[in-house]
Amino acid sequence: MSYNNLILEQNNGIATITINRPSKLNALNKETIQELHNAFASCDEDAATQVIIITGSGEKAFVAGADISEFANFDIEQGGQLAAKGQELLFDFIENLGTPVIAAVNGFALGGGLELAMSCHFRVASDTAKMGLPEVSLGVIPGYGGTQRLPQLIGKGRAMEMIMTAGMIDANQAMRYGLVNHVQNQDDLIPFCEKIAIKIMRNSSVAISASIRAINAGFEDGVNGYEAEVNEFGSCFGTEDFKEGTTAFLEKRKADFPGK
Ligand code: COA
């Protein structure tokens, strides 16, 4: 598959997706959102890909938001559709992907850019990164899940303040808030994410996917997360990975999981 706005590299179980529109600070236009959906879907289907890292090209931006030039003339219906389609195609899709996704936030992550990072399973930032949801400065609100995921990640009061002020926080403040898990200098960002990916790949990919489903269940309306956990836990007992993991432990050797 070829992409106009992305670079997809696959090495030793790790797929790195780089959003590549540096002249527009990697802003998410319609085509890029569709291409990201296709790239995530193909990596998820690919048995050899165990972890996905997403980042932005250039040193300045992860993603500076949704492409403002594309929606500036939209009416009410088109605005609603923009949010609904984007959430379904990309943001909810990534959150519920069975393959772990790490956001390597290498610069500005604003609006749809921060929403993209927040839909990933966790985030690592460069010390140059700046994050914010500036939508109210444009007369609109975050529409790709930002009003939901930001309070989940950093708490309601902090999210209210960030959204109302349209302000940006730097990487260290993002770490204090729990929005990113680690801060690295720019050159070390991708190697550091790869080191985490290697740790993840030592474990059962089947159990990791089940963990993602159970964790996400707790944030779903009308779903009992504890019940989802019981069901996922039970299902693990029927997998080859469970046999291998427990047998390896009892035989005092490292587990050799077959992958997905
Ligand atoms: N949508 C469309 N184009 C964007 C964009 C976006 N969200 N963010 C940046 N760009 C474009 C700029 O229009 C400019 O294009 P041009 O060279 O053709 O004029 C190019 O990217 C570089 O951006 P510029 O603003 O010149 O860089 P800067 O260093 O002065 O400022 C930012 C960087 C990130 C502070 C600034 O670009 C910005 O505020 N972007 C919008 C952020 C935003 O509101 N996002 C939420 C959208 S819902």
Return the bridge partners of 109, or none. 63, 131
> Residues near 82 by Cβ (< 8 Å), separated by ≥ 6?
66, 71, 74, 143
Other C-beta atoms lying within 10 Å of the C-beta of residue 97: 19
How many angstroms is it from 1 CA to the middle of ligand 1?
29
- Assess whether 197 and 244 both reside in one domain: no
- Please indicate, yes or no, if residue 259 is contained in any of the structural domains: no
Q: Given this model, what pLDDT does residue 260 score?
A: 78
Binding-site residues, ligand 1, Cβ < 6 A: 24-25, 27, 64-69, 108, 110-112, 134-135, 138
| Domain-located, residue 258 | no
Residue 260 in any domain: the answer is no
- Identify whether residues 244 and 126 lie together within a single domain: no
No. of helices (H) and no. of strands (E), the chain: 12, 10
**Neighbour count for residue 166 (Cβ, 10 Å):** 15
Pocket test for ligand 1, best of 23, 25, 141 (most atoms within 8 A of CB): 25
| 158: Cβ contacts below 8 Å, ≥ 6 apart | 177
Closest C-alpha to ligand 1, atom 18:
24
Structure confidence by residue, pLDDT tens digits, 70-81: 999 999 999 999
pLDDT tens, residue by residue, 235-258: 999 999 999 999 999 999 999 998
pTM of the model: 0.98
Residue found under tokens 């219906």:
77
Q: What is the pLDDT of residue 259?
A: 82
Residue 229, domain extent: 205-250
User: Do 88 and 174 sit in the same domain of this protein?
Assistant: yes
Please tell me the residue having the least CA distance from ligand 1 atom 6: 67
- Give the whole-angstrom CA distance, residue 112 versus residue 135: 9
Task: Return the SS3 of 92.
Answer: helix
**Domains in the chain: how many in total?**
2
CA neighbours within 13 Å on the CB side: how many for 165? 11
Per-residue pLDDT of the chain (260 residues; tens, 9 = 90+): 899 999 999 999 999 999 999 999 999 999 999 999 999 999 999 999 999 999 999 999 999 999 999 999 999 999 999 999 999 999 999 999 999 999 999 999 999 999 999 999 999 999 999 999 999 999 999 999 999 999 999 999 999 999 999 999 999 999 999 999 999 999 999 999 999 999 999 999 999 999 999 999 999 999 999 999 999 999 999 999 999 999 999 999 999 998 87
In this structure, are residues 26 and 113 in contact, taking their beta carbons and an 8 Å threshold? yes
Q: How many angstroms separate the alpha carbon of residue 153 from the centre of ligand 1?
A: 26
- Catalytic positions are 115, 135
Cα–Cα distance, 168 to 163 (Å, whole number): 10
